[in-house]
Structure 1
Amino acid sequence: MTRQESAQALRRQQEEPGPNRWKALGVCLVAGFMTLLDVSIVNVALPSIRSGLNTPESDLQWVVSGYALAFGLFLIPAGRLGDARGRRSVFMVGLALFTLASASCGAAQTSLWLVVSRLVQGAAGALVSPQISALIQQMFRGAERGRAFGMFGTVVGISTAVGPLLGGLLIQGAGAEDGWRWVFYVNLPIGIVCLFLARRLLPDTPDAKPVRLGRLDPVGVVLLGAAVLALLLPFVQSRQWPGDEKYLLVLVAAALLAVFVGWERRCARSGAEPLVDLGLFHVRSYWLGSLLILLYFAGFTSIFFVSTLYLQNGLHYTALQAGLTLTPFALGSAVAAGIGGRLVDRFGRPLVVFGLATVAIGLAGAAFAVHQVPGRGAGWALLAPLLLAGIGSGLVISPNQTLTLSEVPVRHAGSAGGTLQTGQRVGSAVGIAAVGSVFFAQVAQDGWATAYDHGLLVSIAFVGAALAAAVADVVAGRRAARR
């Protein structure tokens, strides 16, 4: 047998479904939950951090936005690195770094120490996250892949929605002065156990081999990183940087993105390996699915932002009470995501259309409920519409991920998943900035309930735009089928 035939045989063997794939998926999902939870759980810990470290407002903002920035900045390079160097090894390096950074966050004695640790934690989370979708692509086929992505969608929905609840429980249990430290320390035992199991259970990447720096397209990494930074910065700093001049950075981001696309095309023509395979955006399911999830995350994550503000600042709920009010969304999302993962092969994109419509109806119901039951009783009135919105969300995230990545070759799964998740982070930043600006402008004029209504209307507009993208994909698919 020749060397090439041996390599092909090894690749086929490694790409066959492994006996430990579901256990390996469990390791991936726990790690993914931990990294995504840290996007939302810190929000309710901010008052505790302020009192514990005497942190100024500007540093508090960076505790939240610094993580989001670093996370979004490194997703695509991390996905490309996993494809080239090996997903298991990159996953383990990211997980080890995330665990150490969590320990550093919990031990922080100054606000600067905490901000720097959060930046490292965000970069480490970005190393882990794209490997998860790539490993699912590698380990599963057919209907099993839909089920696996359904479980991942459950993790995404729950981690975003239950952050306020878990944060509130930890702070209430450990005390307001140092309770915020346990928001980070809780990651330590989980990270250590996951690291041990990852080494035993996660598969190697068939095409992985030692790579030189030049093969990882360092120019593309710098160009794309600068573009993502210029795009995200004015949105995550929208409240700290007054005036509209900051949005000139969006034009800078567009220019850098154009240069990046030109460079990637040049790499492809010269035979080099580009950071992002631009050919993926010629695939309708991939580019429309990426656009859909960007728009949906702009509406999805902003729901929790304005809801937490309304409940804690407007209705004077505790962090725990606010978290409990938002729990029905998490429960609905968890149940529906598992169902959606099983149904996506049968119904395809129309299932996502139904989910998006359900989310929009649920959010409209939430806006209606706060006026029907004014005062502190509004939390009870929000339970049913948020449950409905959560059920719809579960039918959006995991089925869309399955459909979007369905035609992506496994060798590009890491960079494709990183690009998809970068869109989610960009959508989250844009949505929170847009919804937040409307919310805060309205609070001063008409009060908390009206501000909450207007914020939810902006969220519904983003969900409606995502619905339009989903409908466009369904119509285009049916036309292609008739042809």
Structure 2
Amino acid sequence: MTDRSPARDSRWPAFAVCLGAGFMTLLDVSIVNVALPSIEASLDASPSDLQWIVAGYTLAFGLVLVPAGRLGDTLGRRRMFLIGLTAFVLASAACGLVTSAPALAVVRLVQGAAAGVLNPQVVGLIQQLFRGPERGRAFGMFGAVVGISTAIGPLLGGALLAVAGEAEGWRAVFLVNVPVGAVLIPLAARLLPRDTRHGGRTPLDVVGLALLGVTVLGIMLPFVLATEGGGLDQAPWQLLAVAAVALVAFVAWERAFERRGRDPILSSALVRTPSFTLGATIGGLYFAGFTSIFLLVTLYLQQGLGLSPLAAGLVQTPFALLGGATAMIGGRLVTRYGRRLVVIGILTTIAGVAATDVAVLHVDGAAAPWVVAACLAIAGAGNGFVISPNSTLALEDVRVAQGGTAGATIQTLQRVGTSVGVAATTAVFFTTLAGAGADAAGYGEALAVGLRVTLGIIAVALVVAVLDSLRRRERPPVTLPR
């Protein structure tokens, strides 16, 4: 695949198509949660069905990221983007038309896999289309999309249910993707840069992909099922041992594969690049912390305070809006301030989460949602200075030819971090709730304790970010690769 950019005036429209597709796929991570009661009533879904309707998407998404990124780097990002986008739109239509809960769970697996194929191409295309400060701005816009899509899912889902009705409104949650995709597919075919190869095809590391897949699945599955299944005792924790063995085998295989002159999934040069490894670590840790906030706050608002899904979504909207705004600003500032900007962002997020912790214990009644919204807004402002600048810094020393694989690796660690973090915080939340009582005060106490777990995880990300900031002061400036 070439790293030659198309004409300057066509790059940003192509990037806009990438943002639209990325927003759709990331939105479906959270939008379905508010529709689960409607799905349960309409399709007579069992708890196991509902579990897989949510977990299947998350697992399939995380499982195919790195293989899809690798395929995009070797076979062509435009081709893989169109395959992923088309499959996602068709799967969305199928989700909205199914007549049984097991069928919906199966199609959600396909939808998640399609989203996993699509997203690494977005990161790879950013690497390919932009250089220098423009790349930072592009990642800023993408970071805004990530933050807004994650936080706005419950709000949009609640709005669709309110318009379409509780009985069959869940179908609109999926079918809304179809007209959007119908517009994006021809635009992508027209605007994205055409794939060009130099020389022959590079053989894929099939064994490495299989071992990596077992590793990711073995780590994510227990934590996802622990969260969606409602209890730690229902998760297959023995799979963590399988994942550990697969990881060791993957590392050994990759080293041997590279020694034979082959092109591994993760080259030793990439793994030894400090900006990449530290940035990926920060991303995984940070996602383990901040993404659990939405679930815990939603439980507190809806079950503790009795708010509707739409009202609960509105409370979290300031987080999304400020996060999107600061992500755009962060994309412009990252080339000037570097890792220090990420440190500032994490500190601001910590301040907002800590304020929310204090607020839910001391403010009740009608004022509680307003105060929580204000505190979350502070956290959202910090969030925008973390995600997009961190992506820019993590990929700054990565060759364009490896952009999709490197970006997919970062996204995979984010998905793994999300699964682990959500499982840990929800376990603490429900354990605290069982002792505190299922009233507003009990939910407030459970949320406060869960947020402290979140703060602990984010604090570890802060330590890594500070260490990377200090490391960067001792090295010469980096020129972004071409």
Partner of 1:262: 252
One-letter amino acid of the structure 2 residue matched with residue 359 of structure 1: T
1:221 aligns with 2:209: yes
Does the C-alpha gap of structure 1 residues 242 and 386 become closer, same or farther in structure 2, counting only changes over 3 Å? closer
Partner SS, residue 317 of structure 2: helix
Partner of 1:342: 332
CA distance in 2: counterparts of 1:430 and 1:135, whole angstroms: 29
CA distance in 1: counterparts of 2:357 and 2:53, whole angstroms: 30
Maintained 8 Å contact 2:232/2:427: no
CA distance in 2: counterparts of 1:49 and 1:38, whole angstroms: 15
- Which moved further from structure 2: 57-66 or 316-325? 57-66
Does the C-alpha gap of structure 1 residues 18 and 85 become closer, same or farther in structure 2, counting only changes over 3 Å? farther
Show CA shifts across 1:257-289 (max 9, x none).
Answer: 110111111111112221222321211110000
CA distance in 1: counterparts of 2:70 and 2:106, whole angstroms: 25
1:134 CA displacement = 0.4
Maintained 8 Å contact 1:83/1:208: no
Partner residue of 2:261 out of 245, 254, 271: 271
1:211 CA displacement = 4.3
Partner residue of 2:370 out of 373, 380, 384: 380
Maintained 8 Å contact 1:85/1:210: no
Show CA shifts across 1:399-420 (max 9, x none).
Answer: 0000000100000001101100
Partner of 1:453: 448
Partner of 1:76: 66
CA distance in 1: counterparts of 2:214 and 2:53, whole angstroms: 21
Partner of 1:403: 393
Partner residue of 2:77 out of 71, 87, 90: 87
Maintained 8 Å contact 2:38/2:166: yes
CA distance in 2: counterparts of 1:205 and 1:258, whole angstroms: 35
Show CA shifts across 1:22-44 (max 9, x none).
Answer: 00010000000000000010111
Maintained 8 Å contact 1:228/1:253: yes
Partner SS, residue 433 of structure 1: helix
1:113 aligns with 2:108: no
Q: Which consecutive unaligned segments of at least 5 residues does structure 2 have? A: 437-441, 478-482
CA distance in 2: counterparts of 1:178 and 1:389, whole angstroms: 35
Show CA shifts across 1:108-131 (max 9, x none).
Answer: 111111000100000000010000
Partner of 2:468: 473
One-letter amino acid of the structure 2 residue matched with residue 217 of structure 1: D
One-letter amino acid of the structure 2 residue matched with residue 429 of structure 1: S
- Identity rate of aligned residues, in percent? 52
Maintained 8 Å contact 2:2/2:198: no
CA distance in 2: counterparts of 1:89 and 1:306, whole angstroms: 39
- Which moved further from structure 2: 270-279 or 82-91? 270-279
One-letter amino acid of the structure 1 residue matched with residue 10 of structure 2: N
1:285 aligns with 2:280: no
One-letter amino acid of the structure 1 residue matched with residue 387 of structure 2: I
1:11 CA displacement = 5.0
Maintained 8 Å contact 1:289/1:403: yes
1:207 CA displacement = 3.1
Output aligned runs, 1:416-427, within 5 Å: 416-427=406-417
1:375 CA displacement = 3.2
Show CA shifts across 1:165-222 (max 9, x none).
Answer: 000000000000110100000000111111100011001244378848xx11111111
The TM-score with structure 1 as length reference comes to 0.95
Show CA shifts across 1:94-147 (max 9, x none).
Answer: 000000000010011111110001000000000100000100000000000000
CA distance in 1: counterparts of 2:7 and 2:214, whole angstroms: 39
Count residues in correspondence: 470
Output aligned runs, 1:286-301, within 5 Å: 286-301=276-291
Partner SS, residue 259 of structure 2: helix
CA distance in 2: counterparts of 1:208 and 1:156, whole angstroms: 33
Partner of 1:352: 342
1:30 aligns with 2:20: yes
CA distance in 2: counterparts of 1:209 and 1:440, whole angstroms: 57
CA distance in 2: counterparts of 1:112 and 1:70, whole angstroms: 16
Partner of 2:480: none
Partner residue of 1:197 out of 187, 196, 200: 187
CA distance in 1: counterparts of 2:235 and 2:393, whole angstroms: 39
How big is the alpha-carbon RMSD for the aligned residues of Structure 1 and Structure 2?
Answer: 1.7
Partner of 2:439: none
1:244 CA displacement = 8.4
Output aligned runs, 1:40-439, within 5 Å: 40-207=30-197, 211=201, 215-239=203-227, 240=229, 242-243=232-233, 246-439=236-429
Q: Which consecutive unaligned segments of at least 5 residues does structure 1 have? A: 1-9
1:245 CA displacement = 7.6
Partner SS, residue 39 of structure 1: coil
Partner SS, residue 375 of structure 1: coil
1:381 CA displacement = 1.0
